[in-house]
Chain A
Amino acid sequence: MDAGNDPDPPTHHGPLRFQVPEPSARPGDEPDFSYLDVPPAGDTRRPEVSVDPHQIRDLADAMIRVLDDDGNAVGPWAPGAELSADAMRRALRAMVITRAYDDRMFQSQRQGKTSFYMRSTGEEAIAVGHALELGPRDMFFPTYRQQGWLIAREWPLVDMMCQIFSNERDRLHGRQMPVMYSAKEAGFFTISGNLGTQFIQAVGWAMASAIAGDTCLAAGVVGEGTTAEADFHHALTFAATYQAPVILNVVNNQWAISSFQGIAGGASSTFAARAIGHGIPALRIDGNDYLAVVAGIRWAAERARRNHGPTLIEWVTYRAAAHSSSDDPSKYRPQDEWKAWPLGDPVERLATHLGQIGEWSPVRQNELDEEAKAIVRAAAKEAEGYGTLLDGHVADRRSLFEDVFKEMPAHLRRQRDELERLT
């Protein structure tokens, strides 16, 4: 029988089913991270930085971990993460100040001193690691959750806070929402609110560095949700085509506002695996393990500097706080999910390691926590003295017309004068 001619052919299949992935736990459920395969620390091999990407496809499904549950540095990636105790304490300090800064600025938002805030709690190691491991002339293309870079690079907290408060000292003149910093001198690219645009720009910057015969590289960051954007795929295509000296970071913190990582296709394969079709080496790394963070960045940076091209790194971490001050995670995920996160807290894990090698103690941690709060409190006091959204000490409205172009064209001068005449 020719089924093609039968107006109502018999079918052996049932109706098609539209499939929408669901997270493992919702509010009221027990947190369930059974979907995450966490290998023991030290279990994943470390290839040479010059390796042919096709030889390490398995690493896209593995997880590079250096610190074990007792805080020992183990396995093949440990030597690549060698740091002096001072260097580790510096990183720990940057993470702790970042956390204190986030808590303080979140409170400021609740007090009405600013309109908006975004915390990076739980994923501080990734930005801090980049800041301390990349060079002074390398360029970082961050998302809005990498304030740890600026703090690790000792960019003045007061300056950051003036941006948060949009006050008269805000170097961005109140043009950008809070947390959208720009700090070229600190190697920190201006943050966009449009997700993923910076990823392909990082590739362009890296291409330019290679075109110019320079020695510096770029590092771009997106969240796992943003891997769905075209710019992510453009970035991989261009980076692979021109073997651009760039580190392509995907911070998989499990949640894009209320959408779990499966909504970006994370249930079908890892985000690291997105690199494989492009012939880009993929590393998947425990993002809450500071030593693994350092080891991964060093590997990718060394590869790029030796003209072996880009690396894509998926950082497995967890967004412990709300997406932003406008978000309420209790509406879509278990309240205590963060406590059940199998990769722990990056601050505690680095502190434990330092304690394990006799370079840290609970007393010193307590002192550091208190010192960080005091530093942040003092900076906030000073920044608030320059104004906040509450007291209206914001940039002069005339500045609204500046920097649209290098030189102000006649039509903008006319509009500025028109605003000026309004009382």
Chain B
Amino acid sequence: MNVAIRSALDVMLGRDGQVVVFGEDVGYFGGVFRCTEGLQSKYGETRVFDTPIAEGGIIGVAVGMGAYGLRPVAEIQFADYVYPGLDQLISEAARLRYRSGADFTAPLTVRMPAGGGIHGGQTHSQSPEALFTHVCGLKTVLPSTPYDAKGLLIASIEDDDPVVFLEPKRLYNGPFDGHPERPIVPWTDHPLGDVPEDYYSIPLGVAAVRRPGSDVTVLAYGTMVYVAEAAAAETGVDAEIIDLRTLLPLDTDTIVQSVEKTGRCVIVHEATRTSGFGAELAATVQELCFFHLESPIQRVTGWDTPYPHAQEWDYFPGPGRVGAALRSVMED
């Protein structure tokens, strides 16, 4: 997926002279996850450059650049590091258009690796997406395949509003179904790893059905899409797996269509449960599909604890837990 992200940045740097890419270690070195490798030598350090270690500063200058008329793409090295930048994101970028009566806008994209599965402990594994979806004026995107990552990142950069683009870091080098004991499959050997070199975009706010099914609707995003697929295969439950792709704006039409068909819903995310995005999804499904539901909606999420280091696989909501939820909703 990191290759797809690099390709999206490459395409947009080439197409639009207003695009600039910056963040900690993204310039000469090419980023700790190699998402910007080679871009500085191709486009020069005016377009692709390193920044001081100051997330508030990185997002703050991005707001100023956006107000000037550039299209900044800022990288936060890990989503866990974004908190010092939240004031600039929440109070400034998200509300600039509104508070100025569209006099000034913030067409910036803030990329950040999120999620666990790499033994990153509590400061390199978090999934803070619900913090962003709670903020009016931000769009929140979280792809699960290299093809989507490229198309959605291009759409995010082209969007005239601020977009938080979360990259499931466990998927950078290959899909991951939640079985850490199995050998790693690189994207090169995977059908979804094939990414066209040229420009294409995928509209924000449109979910994808990853696996059609009739028994139960699974709402997932990022790494959890693969975990849900494994759980469906292992349990034999005919789950319809919806990859939300964009959390805000949310594609409620696809969700409603599926839940009305299956009558059951399991929500899966890595983030902590309480006030997680699953709570919003559960409320939405209840509001829009109540009379179609045949069993209570279930959530499978990270525990309400900090993300541990040594006990990663006890924390990570793997196919065992997701499979148990699938079986459970079928029994209700």
The complex places the Cα of A183 from the Cα of B160 at a distance, in Å, of: 20
Query: Can you name 23 A-B residue pairings with CB atoms under 8 Å?
Result: A139-B67, A189-B104, A197-B91, A201-B67, A202-B64, A203-B60, A203-B61, A204-B68, A205-B68, A206-B64, A207-B61, A211-B46, A211-B47, A230-B54, A231-B60, A237-B57, A238-B57, A238-B61, A403-B101, A404-B97, A406-B160, A409-B249, A411-B249
Which residues between 59 and 74 of chain B lie within 8 Å of chain A, taking CB atoms? 60-65, 67-70, 72
Binding site for A on B (CB under 8 A): 20, 46-47, 51-52, 54, 56-57, 60-65, 67-70, 72, 84, 87-88, 91-92, 96-105, 136-137, 139, 160-161, 205, 248-250, 252
The complex places the Cα of A404 from the Cα of B87 at a distance, in Å, of: 17
Question: A194's closest neighbor in chain B, by CB?
Answer: B91
Q: Tell whether A381 is near chain B: CB-to-CB under 8 Å.
A: no
A404 touches B137 (CB 8 A): yes
Residues of B within 8 A of A189 (CB): 67, 104
Residues of B within 8 A of A406 (CB): 97, 105, 160-161
| List of 3 A-B pairs having minimum Cβ-Cβ separation, nearest first | A204-B64, A204-B61, A200-B60
Q: Tell whether A215 is near chain B: CB-to-CB under 8 Å.
A: no
A197 touches B87 (CB 8 A): yes
Q: Tell whether A173 is near chain B: CB-to-CB under 8 Å.
A: yes
The smallest C-beta distance from B282 to any residue of chain A, in angstroms, reads 16
B62 touches A190 (CB 8 A): no
The smallest C-beta distance from B186 to any residue of chain A, in angstroms, reads 36
Residues of A within 8 A of B65 (CB): 204-205, 207-208, 211
Contact segment of A67-75, A90-98, A174-182, A334-342: A174-182
Q: A203-B64, A207-B64, A238-B57 are in contact. List 15 more A-B contacts (CB 8 A).
A: A141-B64, A190-B99, A192-B91, A200-B64, A200-B88, A201-B64, A201-B92, A204-B65, A207-B61, A208-B65, A211-B47, A235-B60, A241-B51, A241-B52, A410-B249
Q: Tell whether A305 is near chain B: CB-to-CB under 8 Å.
A: no
Residues of A within 8 A of B61 (CB): 200-201, 203-204, 207, 238
Residues of B within 8 A of A194 (CB): 87, 91-92
The complex places the Cα of A115 from the Cα of B204 at a distance, in Å, of: 40
Q: Tell whether A212 is near chain B: CB-to-CB under 8 Å.
A: yes
The smallest C-beta distance from A206 to any residue of chain B, in angstroms, reads 8
Residues of B within 8 A of A209 (CB): 68
B92 touches A197 (CB 8 A): yes
A218 touches B205 (CB 8 A): no
Residues of B within 8 A of A175 (CB): 98-99, 101
A201 touches B60 (CB 8 A): yes
A231 touches B69 (CB 8 A): no
Q: Tell whether A397 is near chain B: CB-to-CB under 8 Å.
A: no
Residues of A within 8 A of B96 (CB): 190
Q: Tell whether A104 is near chain B: CB-to-CB under 8 Å.
A: no
The smallest C-beta distance from A384 to any residue of chain B, in angstroms, reads 21
The complex places the Cα of A203 from the Cα of B99 at a distance, in Å, of: 21
Question: A171's closest neighbor in chain B, by CB?
Answer: B101
A403 touches B60 (CB 8 A): no
Name the one of B56, B160, B161 contacting A231, with C-beta atoms under 8 angstroms.
B56
Given A194-B87, A209-B68: A204 and B137 interface contact (C-beta under 8 Å): no
Which of B92, B101, B139, B252 has the most CB atoms of chain A within a 10 A radius of its CB? B101
The complex places the Cα of A238 from the Cα of B57 at a distance, in Å, of: 7
How many residues in A have their beta carbons less than 8 Å from beta carbons of B?
43
A182 touches B60 (CB 8 A): no
Per-position 1/0 for A393-423, Cβ under 8 A of B = 0000000000111100111000000000000
Residues of A within 8 A of B52 (CB): 234, 237-238, 241
The complex places the Cα of A192 from the Cα of B99 at a distance, in Å, of: 8
B161 touches A172 (CB 8 A): no
Per-position 1/0 for A229-265, Cβ under 8 A of B = 0110011011001000000000000000000000000
Name the one of B54, B91, B252 contacting A410, with C-beta atoms under 8 angstroms.
B252
Residues of B within 8 A of A409 (CB): 205, 248-249
A405 touches B161 (CB 8 A): yes
Given A205-B65, A208-B65: A182 and B99 interface contact (C-beta under 8 Å): yes
Residues of B within 8 A of A306 (CB): none
Q: Tell whether A54 is near chain B: CB-to-CB under 8 Å.
A: no
Question: B60's closest neighbor in chain A, by CB?
Answer: A200
The smallest C-beta distance from A332 to any residue of chain B, in angstroms, reads 27
Residues of A within 8 A of B51 (CB): 238, 241
Name the one of A182, A204, A206 contacting B104, with C-beta atoms under 8 angstroms.
A182
Which of B46, B61, B72, B97 has the most CB atoms of chain A within a 10 A radius of its CB? B61
The complex places the Cα of A410 from the Cα of B256 at a distance, in Å, of: 14
The complex places the Cα of A313 from the Cα of B206 at a distance, in Å, of: 50
Q: Tell whether A45 is near chain B: CB-to-CB under 8 Å.
A: no
The smallest C-beta distance from B126 to any residue of chain A, in angstroms, reads 21
B98 touches A404 (CB 8 A): yes
Which of A173, A189, A200, A237 has the most CB atoms of chain B within a 10 A radius of its CB? A200
Question: A200's closest neighbor in chain B, by CB?
Answer: B60
A182 touches B63 (CB 8 A): no
Name the one of A173, A203, A410 contacting B101, with C-beta atoms under 8 angstroms.
A173
Residues of B within 8 A of A218 (CB): 64
The complex places the Cα of A144 from the Cα of B286 at a distance, in Å, of: 45
Residues of B within 8 A of A206 (CB): 64
B63 touches A204 (CB 8 A): yes
The complex places the Cα of A234 from the Cα of B47 at a distance, in Å, of: 21
Q: Tell whether A364 is near chain B: CB-to-CB under 8 Å.
A: no
Residues of A within 8 A of B98 (CB): 175, 403-404
Q: Tell whether A184 is near chain B: CB-to-CB under 8 Å.
A: yes
Per-position 1/0 for A132-175, Cβ under 8 A of B = 00000001010000000000000000000000000000011101
The complex places the Cα of A206 from the Cα of B63 at a distance, in Å, of: 11
The complex places the Cα of A201 from the Cα of B91 at a distance, in Å, of: 13
Residues of A within 8 A of B136 (CB): 404
Question: A408's closest neighbor in chain B, by CB?
Answer: B249
B57 touches A200 (CB 8 A): yes
Name the one of A180, A241, A411 contacting B99, with C-beta atoms under 8 angstroms.
A180
B64 touches A190 (CB 8 A): no
Which of A183, A209, A403 has the most CB atoms of chain B within a 10 A radius of its CB? A403
